[in-house]
Amino acid sequence: MEYPPAVLEKAQRLEQLLRRVAAGEPLADLNAELSFELDEVGLAQHQAKYAAGGHTWTALIDGRHGHPRKAHSALREWLYARKEADASLRAPQLVQEIQAQFGVTLHAGHVNHLLRQRALTAPPGRPFKSPAADDSAPDTAPPGEALDHAGLFFPGGRQD
């Protein structure tokens, strides 16, 4: 597995620290010089790991070095331009377009996260409904006719 140069360099510095502590140098001075913050417990853990790995610096490689970014800069710029061009697009549609365009599978939540970083998301909640044309027409029934049979459904509801 390929590791980033910073991870390899850290393992080599840690090996230096362990060898120099074994030679008798104080841990506090080595922590300051080699940019570590090891205490006695951490030192003992690294010494055990180093001994179990055959006294090589490769045994000290920290396996946590991140993961490749799926949403690389070209993809993000395309996403932002696409959303600015058509504000009605939603995350599920954009996920499908990203899959077709870049061959990368992202989750809709991550796409929304990326859009929020640029303030390109829609306001939260359901979109407002525009009033229909039929709702604006006035009622054609005469004023008293709509309540003529109100007593049938609601006893005592119609009092003359």
Is residue 144 situated within a structural domain?
no
Confidence of residue 93 (pLDDT cuts 50, 70, 90): very high
pTM for this predicted structure: 0.42
**Is 18 inside a domain boundary?**
yes
Quick one: 19 and 48 in the same domain?
A: yes
pLDDT tens, residue by residue, 67-87: 567 888 889 999 999 999 998
Give the pLDDT confidence of 95-141 residue by residue, as tens digits. Answer: 999 999 989 899 999 999 999 988 888 777 776 777 765 555 555 65
CB 36 within 8 A of CB 28: no
For residue 119, the one-letter residue type is: A
Domain of residue 23 covers 5-60
Number of domains into which the chain is organized? 2
The one-letter amino acid at 68: P
Give the model confidence (pLDDT) of 24-68 as tens digits: 999 999 989 988 898 999 999 999 998 988 999 888 887 665 556
Q: 9 and 56 share a domain?
A: yes
Q: Is the same domain home to 13 and 50?
A: yes
Which H/E stretch holds residue 12?
A: helix 5-22
DSSP state of 134: G
**95-104, 138-147, 148-157, range with greatest mean pLDDT:** 95-104
- State whether 54 and 77 are in the same domain: no
Task: Copy the structure tokens of residue 90.
Answer: 């939603």
- What distance in Å separates the CA atoms of residue 53 and residue 63, rounded to the nearest whole number? 14
CA 44 – CA 35 distance, rounded (Å): 18
Q: Which amino acid is at 118?
A: R
- Asked whether the beta carbons of 114 and 94 are under 8 A apart, the reply is no
Claim to verify: residue 56 and residue 83 sit in the same structural domain = no
What are the structure tokens assigned to 104, written together? 């990368």
How many other C-beta atoms are found inside a 10 Å radius of the C-beta of residue 110?
A: 13
Residue type at 46?
H
